[in-house]
Amino acid sequence: KAGVTQTPRYLIKTRGQQVTLSCSPISGHRSVSWYQQTPGQGLQFLFEYFSETQRNKGNFPGRFSGRQFSNSRSEMNVSTLELGDSALYLCASSLPRSDGNTIYFGEGSWLTVV
């Protein structure tokens, strides 16, 4: 069974540009969430989607947005990139159970903003 797949794995962008990251969850998983990982701040929750609806959002500016498609695949977008957006962006998926369901992470997309 394939794991959570994220593309691209590595990318370099210039300040002011925008970027779109893609995530394919594990087959059958309908909940998808995104996290930002940096050395200074650790892992921080960005947002969560279930059945194409955002049901939770972290404390990030509006430049960070996401969406989920009917096939549960998800994308996140960062507009007007800043140097501080350089990070590992992780996507996670899980079954839509409410009781301790395991969250599976992808290997992430490494974003460098120059």
Partner 1 sequence: QQQVKQSPQSLIVQKGGISIINCAYENTAFDYFPWYQQFPGKGPALLIAIRPDVSEKKEGRFTISFNKSAKQFSLHIMDSQPGDSATYFCAARSGGYQKVTFGIGTKLQVIP
Binding stretches for partner 1 (CB under 8 A)? 4, 31-33, 35, 42-45, 48, 55-56, 58, 90, 92, 94, 97-108
How far is residue 7's CA from residue 23's CA, in Å, rounded to a whole number? Answer: 7
Smallest distance, partner 1 to C-beta of residue 31, A: 5
**C-beta of 7 vs 56, nearer to partner 1:** 56
**C-beta of 70 vs 102, nearer to partner 1:** 102
Smallest distance, partner 1 to C-beta of residue 56, A: 5
**C-beta of 34 vs 85, nearer to partner 1:** 34
Bridge partners (DSSP) of residue 74 are 23, 68
Smallest distance, partner 1 to C-beta of residue 15, A: 26
Q: Are strands 10-13 and 109-113 parallel, antiparallel or unpaired?
A: parallel
Nearest residue to 16 via CA among 76, 86, 79, 88? 79
| H or E element, residue 12 | strand 10-13
Tokens 């009917």, residue located: 70
Smallest distance, partner 1 to C-beta of residue 70, A: 19
